[in-house]
Structure 1
């Protein structure tokens, strides 16, 4: 009996370590129970997931990902939020996009992953009862509100919201910009939304024209070091 219990505990420990270490492993692990079928992995998923791991490790400061629709980008970013909470329950994320329904879906899906039995068995993170909505929810640590996830459509006021936290070193959240339409919408307030200077920004979008947010970033209009990966077609 004890050997079975010890084996189960070791398996859970290994699974937890792999989830915290590898973004694609985490994504696949929590996709299956949520969707009822396996996440079909293509080479570009591995490429993007590896870069997300580098962002979490602090090797990539800010990241631009250019991919076409249907690439699974939103799935990978949704799991970044849940995985960030798993690694540090104090993590704080801002998720911004052009579509209010999209940002609510992403935020709600990440919240549902965190609330799931599979997640809770590995990381017993508590969701705050003070704020638990589709677009905005918080985690608690030692009975106090600590981490948060806030999603909003571009142009919406995000006053008082910050990504990242000064309370911990290392990765403590990110600003995620998903398919912004205009550079001014994407970056007018972004720099002021960082709790600390090394909080990363991830911009992920399809390129539609030259004067787009990607160009705005890569021509030096947004402070910080940026790395770009471009996948024009799949």
Structure 2
């Protein structure tokens, strides 16, 4: 333990991640805490100027960024001018108190003796140089230097305050504020007329947020200046193997901090409020009702009603393959399969599933899936002829009796293709047969292009284009739904 403390003491002035454990011996850092600390250090060193970190609530982001990072940064450079803000002045003041306690500590003074505050419990208190340096809950100055820390609530003033590092820790308190267009506009105006006017050419900005709404402060900034921000997204449930570029130890479906927030707990939260879970825990907010496609555009029908209505209409199947694991950053994307049929002028989506299967397992799965979902000799399996799809088509024709065909090769990107078919959904001619798969399907389609995966988006477009292939002359803008 003594050797470990000695090593931490040597590394703490140079590494924020070491400082966390040095300043608080009881601190237990998870892998993602180190990721956050490393990005903050890059910001301090000027390698990053604008950083956004999106994480679920209660995962320790404020402990690192709002309580420890400012103290460490002032230790490295006591001339820094830092502003820390949050949704309320009270919370911003709590962060300020924590920073001051850290700076006053013996551990801190042992590694950063040049950074201290007026009124610190140190022999230097008797030094006349401490006189005249301000220190209160809203504002404190570093003795003998030009640096300071100012705490302010969103909406508060910063007149005459130059800023080297601006930290915003959750500018939104709760759902009431997040869903209020008036409040979102107030935050946006404060950022543009107060905070941003205090920045200079070398200023750095650090936002840590739990995403509530597509139109929140982060959403507006990323829309206005997408290329200027470094964005780190750490969802509560892993959606990419090893969290993509973060190279984490997680696999798809793993909880972020299982000792504190188990997968079972997270899944219950998702079941209770899927839309809020997508925003708060997965950092994928969607526009109310949907982005390109709205949830209420889809009409619902019970399984019993559909069964009575369908009679002998053949069920057709649409596949988007993604079993190849070689594409960097998109490892373990699922394949998507959809069962759908057309009855008169309407399309009925019978079932949709995401499956993580490589070639042999996928070839065994498809005949079983089709047989279990009303497939017969008239059913056709449509597969996009991209690299993986061509292989699946060839193999299925060799090892099965399925009617397999290739969908037309797309020439437009996914967003354009979804916008093209969206009027067919909006006019009320696409039904969803009620089932346990509905929420996952709607969450992805309606969140697109903000969703982490898009296999359902692809196969929905394939199905609509195929089943309406002979009806291109229909005027969907003026269709009579009666």
TM-score normalised to structure 2 length: 0.40
Q: In structure 2, what is the equivalent of residue 216 of structure 1?
A: 220
Alignment of 1:139-154 (within 5 A): 139-141=142-144, 145-154=145-154
SS class of match (1:207):
coil
Select the residue among 199, 202, 205 that pairs with 1:198.
202
Q: Distance in 2 between matches of 1:156 and 1:213?
A: 16
Q: Distance in 1 between matches of 2:211 and 2:92?
A: 20
- Whichever of the two has the greater Rg, that structure is 2
SS class of match (1:84):
helix
- The answer on whether the counterparts of 2:104 and 2:117 sit within 8 Å (CA) in structure 1 is yes
Alignment of 1:1-234 (within 5 A): 15=8, 17-32=10-25, 38-77=26-65, 78-124=67-113, 125-128=115-118, 129=131, 130-141=133-144, 145-164=145-164, 174-181=165-172, 182-194=187-199, 196-220=200-224, 225-233=228-236, 234=256
1:28-48 superposed Cα distances (whole Å, 9 cap, x missing partner) = 11123xxxxx21212211111
SS class of match (2:84):
strand
**TM-aligned CA deviation for residue 221 of structure 1:** 5.0
Select the structure with the greater relative contact order (CA < 8 A; seq sep ≥ 6).
Answer: 1
SS class of match (1:146):
coil
**TM-aligned CA deviation for residue 220 of structure 1:** 2.1
Q: Distance in 1 between matches of 2:56 and 2:89?
A: 20
- The answer on whether the counterparts of 2:83 and 2:167 sit within 8 Å (CA) in structure 1 is yes
For structure 2, the residue ranges without an aligned partner over 5 or more in a row are 119-130, 173-186, 237-255, 257-482
- The answer on whether the counterparts of 1:22 and 1:53 sit within 8 Å (CA) in structure 2 is yes
Summarize the Cα distance change of 1:180–1:89 in structure 2 as closer, same or farther, 3 Å threshold: same
SS class of match (2:117):
strand
1:162-221 superposed Cα distances (whole Å, 9 cap, x missing partner) = 222xxxxxxxxx100111133333443222212x31210001100011101111111125
**TM-aligned CA deviation for residue 21 of structure 1:** 2.1
- The answer on whether the counterparts of 1:67 and 1:232 sit within 8 Å (CA) in structure 2 is yes
Summarize the Cα distance change of 1:198–1:101 in structure 2 as closer, same or farther, 3 Å threshold: same
**TM-aligned CA deviation for residue 126 of structure 1:** 2.8
**TM-aligned CA deviation for residue 151 of structure 1:** 0.4
Q: Distance in 2 between matches of 1:61 and 1:53?
A: 11
* Runs of 4+ deviating beyond 6 Å: none
TM-align CA RMSD: 2.1
TM-score normalised to structure 1 length: 0.80
SS class of match (1:199):
strand
Q: Distance in 2 between matches of 1:123 and 1:53?
A: 17
For structure 1, the residue ranges without an aligned partner over 5 or more in a row are 1-7, 33-37, 165-173
1:75-112 superposed Cα distances (whole Å, 9 cap, x missing partner) = 11121110011101111100011122211111111111
- The answer on whether the counterparts of 1:175 and 1:200 sit within 8 Å (CA) in structure 2 is yes
Aligned length: 205
SS class of match (1:131):
coil
- The answer on whether the counterparts of 2:8 and 2:22 sit within 8 Å (CA) in structure 1 is no
SS class of match (2:157):
coil
